[in-house]
Amino acid sequence: MGGGLNSIVGLLALVGFVIFLAGVGLVVLNSSQGRSPRGGVLLAVIGLVAGILFAIISNGLLFVDVRQVAVITNTLTGQLETPRGPGTSIIIPGLQVPTFYPTNQLSYTMSEGREQQLADDAAVVATTVDGQSISLDVTIFYSISPAAEAINEFHRRWGTGYENYVRSTGRTVVRDVVATFRAEAIYGQGRVDMQVRINERMQQELEREGFILNDVQVRGVQFSASFVEAIEAAAAAEQRAVQARQEAERARTIAAGERDAAIARAEGVAQSTILQAEAEAEGLRLVSEQIAANPLLIQYEYVRNLSDNVSIALVPSNSPFLFDFQSIAGGTTLPAPAAEATPTPGS
């Protein structure tokens, strides 16, 4: 709206100057024809006054966009006046000179492959604590603080060349932070920690100078070919070591299982033997009790297990009798076996 009003006033100033020229032309025409130039003079004066007035008003109207702030310099005293925020205000042309600064988010990128880039716009090359050289693409997202005192001080210190400060500070901070990390850490999970530290340091540096840091993005990290090969070789070796440990653990598990199974089988056999021995012992104990209670039980069982057609038992003559033959025979005296006659020679 302010820009449109400024354009309208400028157009009115132009119309006034056109009227002035028309009045001058009318004066010349009337004078050449011998008529009074009074009407042309009046028209020229009105046009000139209107043109000058609207030109002054047009130059005195200051329109500040919503994404800007204007620092006002008094050319007479050299002092900075109160900054003008978004909207339309009035200044004294020639005495109050505005300098506009953006307040929206800005970005500055340092990376490889940019067209028509400055030497300092190239990717940041830094050295790690273990001496490895790496290249990083860095983009800084920032804005300028619109606060009155901050923007005036910002104007005094940096003027419109503030991008130089952002670039140089960004390169310095990135190199300082990278120098505290080992290359292997940046190659892995340490990259996140590195970016966090870069953001913290950049925020401290920029806020001190009237900037507002929104974010620092680090990407496109490139290592030397020899370092990448070494890392990949180490990763492959670690993978083989992990695989070997897994196989060893699997073998130990299988061996432990077989050992436990063998122990279980041995314990089962031992337990079975113990139970069998206990059962036999218990059987012998019961037999002993029965024999003690019935002394003739052994004789009875022996005879009972003889074949039905057996009526004579032979017992060695030099062994004590095992049976009570008197009881077996029912008290009948058994004849002793007759001695076999010795044959005489020649019979």
Strand 133-144 and strand 106-110: the pairing is: antiparallel
Tens digit of each residue's pLDDT (9 = 90 or more) over 302-331: 666 665 655 555 555 555 545 555 555 554
Determine contact, residues 72/152, Cβ cutoff 8 Å: no
Closest CA to 11 of 41, 40, 50: 50
> Which CATH number applies to 106-223?
3.30.479.30
Residue 248 has pLDDT above 50, yes or no: yes
Q: Tokens representing 162?
A: 């503030």
Average pLDDT over residues 134-143: 93
Average pLDDT over residues 245-250: 80
Residue 203 has a pLDDT of: 94
Beta-carbon count within 10 A of 170 CB = 25
Closest CA to 108 of 210, 213, 231: 213
User: What is the distance between the alpha carbons of residues 62 and 59, in angstroms, rounded to a whole number?
Assistant: 8
The pTM (predicted TM-score) of the whole model is 0.56
Residues in CB range of 158: below 8 A, 6 or more apart: 165, 209, 210
Residue 311 has a pLDDT of: 56
